Amino acid sequence: MIMENLQSIQEKALKQIEEAGALDALNEVRVAILGKKGELTSVLKSMKDVSAEERPKIGAMVNEARDQIEKALEEAKQKMEAAALNERLKREKIDVTLPASKEPKGHRHPNTIALEELERIFIGMGYEVVEGPEIEKDYYNFEALNIPEGHPAKDEQDTFYINGDILLRTQTSGTQVHEMEKGRLPIKMISPGRVFRADEVDATHSPSFHQVEGLVIDKNISFSDLKGTLVEFARKLFGEDTKVKFRPHHFPFTEPSAEMDVSCFKCKGKGCRFCKGEGWIEILGCGMVHPHVLEMSGVDPHEYTGFAFGVGLERIALLKYEIDDMRLLYENDIRFLNQF
């Protein structure tokens, strides 16, 4: 009798579970069957009327029925929850092509981007970064660099003077002298900074621009070391397939001197409008530090040799980012800066 009862409770329960449309309905089934006053619970309660021998068997059957119902309840619940979640996710669908919302960030000046790239390359090669004064003594800007009074190079550079002895530096090369005078050898440094020349502002000139000076002094530094270093620099800056050409040139403070050209990174050396059809672009000046310059700064040219180079930062920035007018660099129009 109990057994039939159990059977019918179970069947009813499973049917109700199957028919339940929502979690509430399921809960009602649970309470009605398994609750304190539930049908199955009352079966258990009636166990006291069952004989001792039958009790374990009936007990097992009740438990079996409970497990079945609970399992069915759980399955139904999971199914409903999954359906509800799916429903919610469906509702929450968004248009992923709507515009992004951004925290507006500022942009770095192309000069700085170029400088940071240069610094990274040279720091990676073991260079220290040092700075020098922008308002400088004539001695450091000229005389100590083998440009004595009356030297044509002094005139060529169109110097801004404060007075006879103090000027706005026309090149970062003066930091070479400051570094050597410190008397700590070897030296391996780059020195970025602002320089000034009396050029009227136009698309390719600015009375104020930036250079990065480089200086290496040690025993046995050779022109081949200069070549190796700058070839590596050019490849890191413009790409591994960059070709490099050194042409003899003249700077008063280096001898031998050279200018370095790199193969045009736009046309890969074929010749285009960018490189004026030459396939090459002039990048920097360099050379072995003139023995007389070493001597003047207290370095014995018989024991030590060195090389130096100077890069025009704006030149690199203009080339690398294809900026066609130098004035843009000092206008600070946000529509320009935003492109970097």
Partner 1 sequence: METPLSWIKAFVPDLNCTDSEFADAMTLSGTKVEGYRRLDKNLENIVVGKILKIEKHPDADKLIVCQVDVGEKTTQIVTGAPNVKEGDLVPVVLDGGKVAGDHDGGNPENGVKIKAGKLRGIESNGMMCSIEELGSTRDIYPEAPEYGIYILPPDAPVGSDAIAFMGLDDTVFEYEITSNRVDCYSVMGIAREAAATFNLPFKYPDVKEAGNDEKTEDYISVEIKDRDLCSRYVARVVKDVKIGPSPDWMKKRLRASGIRPINNLVDITNYVMLEYGQPMHAFDYSTIADKKIIVKRAKDGDIFTTLDGVERKLDSEVLMICDGQKEVGIAGIMGGENSMITEDVKTVLFEAATFNGTNIRKSARRVGLRTDASGIFEKGLDANNALAAMQRACSLVEELGCGVVIGGKVDVYDSLPEPKRIPFEPDRINSYLGTDISREDMISYLKRVEVEYDASSKELVCPTFRQDLLGFADTSEEVARFFGYDKIPVTFPDDPECVGSLPFKLRVEELARNVAESFGFSQGFCYSFESPAVFDKLMLPADAPERKAITISNPLGVDFSIMRTLSLNGILTSLSTNFNRKNKDVRLYELGNIYIPESLPLEKLPDERMQLTFGFYGEGDFYTMKGVIEEFLLKAGMNKRPHYDPESGRPYLHPGRQADIIYENEKIGFIGQVHPLTCKAYDMAKAEVYVAVLDMPKITQKAVFDRKYSGIAKFPAVSRDISILVPKEVLEGSIEDMIIQRGGKILESCTLFDIYEGDQIVTSHKSMAFNIVFRNREKTLSDDEVNAAMKKILNGLSSMGIELRS
Residues in 280-339 that interact with partner 1 by CB under 8 A? 288, 290-292, 305, 329-335, 337-338
Q: Do 169 and 138 form a contact (C-beta atoms < 8 A)?
A: no
By CB under 8 A, tell whether 183 contacts partner 1.
Answer: no
Q: Which of 12, 32, 61, 107 binds partner 1 (CB under 8 A)?
A: 107
Q: What are phi and psi of 216, to 5 degrees?
A: -130, 125
Q: Which of residues 85-104 bind partner 1 (CB under 8 A)?
A: 103-104
Q: Which of residues 115-144 bind partner 1 (CB under 8 A)?
A: 116, 119, 122-131, 133-137
d(CA 215, CA 230): 12
Question: Measured from the CB of residue 98, what is the shortest distance to partner 1 in angstroms?
Answer: 22
d(CA 54, CA 43): 14
Q: Which of 248, 273, 322, 324 binds partner 1 (CB under 8 A)?
A: 248
Q: Which of 37, 224, 322, 324 binds partner 1 (CB under 8 A)?
A: 224
Q: Closest by alpha carbon to 311, among 148, 127, 108?
A: 127
Question: Measured from the CB of residue 268, what is the shortest distance to partner 1 in angstroms?
Answer: 18
For the record, the structure tokens of 124 come out as: 């990676």
Burial of 319 (0-12, 13-18, 19+ CB in 10 A): buried
For the record, the structure tokens of 116 come out as: 């940071």
CB nearer partner 1, residue 33 or residue 147: 147
CB nearer partner 1, residue 196 or residue 238: 196
Q: Do 115 and 192 form a contact (C-beta atoms < 8 A)?
A: yes
Q: Which residue in the block uniquely carries the two structure tokens 């039939």?
A: 4
CB nearer partner 1, residue 77 or residue 227: 227
State yes or no: cis peptide before 133, omega within 30 of 0: no
CB nearer partner 1, residue 137 or residue 268: 137
Interacting stretch for partner 1, rule CB under 8 A, among 7-15, 30-38, 68-76, 246-254? 246-254
207-213-217 Cα angle (round to 5): 155
CB nearer partner 1, residue 11 or residue 131: 131
State the DSSP string of 232-246: HHHHHHH-TT--EEE
Q: Do 284 and 309 form a contact (C-beta atoms < 8 A)?
A: yes
Show Cβ contacts of residue 75 under 8 Å, excluding neighbours closer than 6 positions: none
Q: Which of 45, 60, 74, 161 binds partner 1 (CB under 8 A)?
A: 161
Q: Which of residues 38-77 bind partner 1 (CB under 8 A)?
A: none
- Contact string 200-219 vs partner 1 (x = CB under 8 A): x------xx-------x-x-
Distances (CA, A) of 50 to 4, 5, 118: 14, 14, 94
CB nearer partner 1, residue 45 or residue 182: 182
Q: Which of 20, 221, 264, 318 binds partner 1 (CB under 8 A)?
A: 221
Q: Do 330 and 206 form a contact (C-beta atoms < 8 A)?
A: yes
Interacting stretch for partner 1, rule CB under 8 A, among 9-17, 22-30, 90-98, 161-169? 161-169
By CB under 8 A, tell whether 234 contacts partner 1.
Answer: no
Count of residues that interact with partner 1, criterion CB under 8 A: 83
Interacting stretch for partner 1, rule CB under 8 A, among 6-14, 20-28, 61-69, 160-168? 160-168
